[in-house]
Amino acid sequence: MFTGIISDIGEVVAHEGGRFTIRTHYPASSLEVGASMGCDGCCLTMTTVQSEDQGSLFTVDTSNETRSKTTIEDWQPGRRINLERSLQAGGEIGGHVVMGHVDGIARIIDVKPDGESLRFSFEVPDHLAPYVAPKGSVALNGTSFTVNEVSDNRFGVNVIPHTLTVTTWGAKTPGQTVNLEVDLFARYVARLLEFRP
Percentage of residues of the chain with pLDDT beyond 90: 82
Whole-angstrom distance, CA of residue 78 vs CA of residue 75? 9
Q: How far does the chain reach from its first CA to its final CA, in angstroms?
A: 33
Q: What is the pTM of this model?
A: 0.91
Sequence-separated (6 or more) residues with CB below 8 Å from residue 124 = 104, 106, 107, 132, 153, 154, 155, 180
pLDDT at 155 (0 to 100):
98
Whole-angstrom distance, CA of residue 56 vs CA of residue 59? 10
- Right CATH for 104-194 from 3.50.50.60, 3.40.50.300, 2.40.30.20, 3.30.70.2970: 2.40.30.20
Each residue of 30-71: pLDDT tens digit?
999 999 999 999 999 999 999 998 899 999 999 999 999 999
| Fold (CATH) for 8-85 | Elongation Factor Tu (Ef-tu); domain 3 (2.40.30)
pLDDT at 1 (0 to 100):
78
pLDDT at 173 (0 to 100):
98
Helix (H, G, I), strand (E, B) or coil at 27: coil
| pLDDT at position 13 over 60 | yes
Amino acid at 28: A
| pLDDT at position 105 over 90 | yes
Q: Are 101 and 182 in contact (CB under 8 A)?
A: no
Domain limits of the chain?
8-85, 104-194
pLDDT at 89 (0 to 100):
60
Sequence-separated (6 or more) residues with CB below 8 Å from residue 158 = 114, 117, 118, 119, 120, 148
**Mean pLDDT, the chain, whole residue set:** 92
pLDDT at 125 (0 to 100):
95
Q: Which is more confident, 14 or 95?
A: 14
Q: Do domains 8-85 and 104-194 have the same CATH topology?
A: yes
pLDDT at 55 (0 to 100):
95
**Beta bridge pairs of residue 108:** 122
Mean pLDDT of 150-162: 97
Helix (H, G, I), strand (E, B) or coil at 140: strand
pLDDT at 197 (0 to 100):
63
Each residue of 182-196: pLDDT tens digit?
987 666 566 556 666
Helix (H, G, I), strand (E, B) or coil at 177: strand
